[in-house]
Structure 1
Amino acid sequence: MKTNILGLAVKESELIINNLNTLLSNFQVYYQNLRGIHWNIKGKRFFDLHVKFEELYTDSQLKIDLIAERVLTIGGTPLHTFEDYIKNNTLVVGKNISVDEKAVHLIVNSLSHLLKIEREILNKSAEINDEGTNSMMSDFIAEQEKTIWMMQAWLEESL
């Protein structure tokens, strides 16, 4: 079995790179969705949500950078064009959302979808002992699960 400089199997790492690029694409769309609802939110909850959405897109921006750097670390090239992001995205694109509940539902649904991708990467990275990717996915999952819980509590809906 051929390994890279990190001691990871090259062939299996390529699969993880592809999955990380899919996650990167979806995160870029999630980030843009957050920017859009941050800009367009209206209503009596504007001040609270405007700040919360900024917090979420700032966090997403950091995660995008971490994902791209992980792709590079394990020997790949991160996707970096809007064309690639759209082609590899599977999230709903939120357009002109200004109603608070619609915005929060978009976030919950997007995070739920990102969790599925991250759990798939987590399983594959565990199989090849890729602890760096595994640790990153674990951290993302824990944070996003908490955010979903908080958003669900805000919506006053049960999981």
Structure 2
Amino acid sequence: MQQLNVIGLDQQHAEQLAEKLNQLLSNYQVFYMNVRGFHWNIKGQEFFELHAKFEETYNDLLMKIDEIAERILTLGQRPLHAYSTYIKNSSIREAKDIHDGKACVREILESYQTTIRLQRELLELAGQADDEGTSALMSDYIKEQEKTAWMLTSYLGS
């Protein structure tokens, strides 16, 4: 017999989605802290431009962190909430002592590539679970981040 959660999704699907969302949450948390560090430590001729861009980026990441955690709760599951757990579950690694603008942008671009890949996996899982809420969230993130990745690639001259 199929067991449904409070929003009418199959419980097993909800658990699988929450597990993958927690993986995404972990990646976003490490990504956020990396960009925070870039914002604080950027040096050079592009300081003003990148300092502002990094602040815009980490504010956006912070909003998404909250949305992902709330989506996990909506699915009837618990979001991870310990930084040691985030580090362990994240594919994105801590970026330490980076203050060169192009190096920071390359790190951000790589992090977007990781989150986009995970979000596509979530989009597929959400489709299988008939979970429109998670699908919509992932679609929005992917669309926005693909454009940002293109812009960052252009910035790097690639």
The residue that corresponds to 1:20 in the other structure is: 21
Q: Alpha-carbon deviation of 1:83?
A: 1.4
The separation in 1 between residues aligned to 2:94 and 2:18, in whole angstroms, is: 24
| Within-5 A mapping of 1:77-116 | 77-116=78-117
The separation in 2 between residues aligned to 1:53 and 1:32, in whole angstroms, is: 11
AA aligned opposite 2:31: Y
Q: Structure 1 stretches (4+) deviating beyond 6 angstroms?
A: none
AA aligned opposite 1:18: E
Q: Alpha-carbon deviation of 1:33?
A: 0.4
Q: Where in structure 1 are there 5+ consecutive unaligned residues? A: none
The residue that corresponds to 2:132 in the other structure is: 131
Q: How many residues align?
A: 157
Q: Alpha-carbon deviation of 1:120?
A: 0.5
The residue that corresponds to 2:9 in the other structure is: 8
The residue that corresponds to 1:42 in the other structure is: 43
The residue that corresponds to 2:64 in the other structure is: 63
Q: Alpha-carbon deviation of 1:92?
A: 2.6
The separation in 2 between residues aligned to 1:110 and 1:136, in whole angstroms, is: 18
The separation in 1 between residues aligned to 2:6 and 2:123, in whole angstroms, is: 21
The CA RMSD over aligned residues, in Å, is 0.6
Q: Alpha-carbon deviation of 1:115?
A: 0.7
Percent identical across equivalent pairs? 46
The separation in 2 between residues aligned to 1:128 and 1:25, in whole angstroms, is: 22
The separation in 1 between residues aligned to 2:119 and 2:111, in whole angstroms, is: 12
The residue that corresponds to 1:121 in the other structure is: 122
The separation in 2 between residues aligned to 1:129 and 1:9, in whole angstroms, is: 9
- SS of 1:85 mapped into structure 2: helix
Give the TM-score, by structure 1 length.
0.97
The separation in 1 between residues aligned to 2:152 and 2:126, in whole angstroms, is: 29
Cα deviation, 1:76-121, whole Å, max 9, x if unaligned, reads 0000111111111111321111001100000000000111111101
The separation in 1 between residues aligned to 2:18 and 2:131, in whole angstroms, is: 12
Q: Are residue 145 (structure 1) and residue 146 (structure 2) matched?
A: yes
Preserved CA contact (<8 Å) 2:87 2:93: no
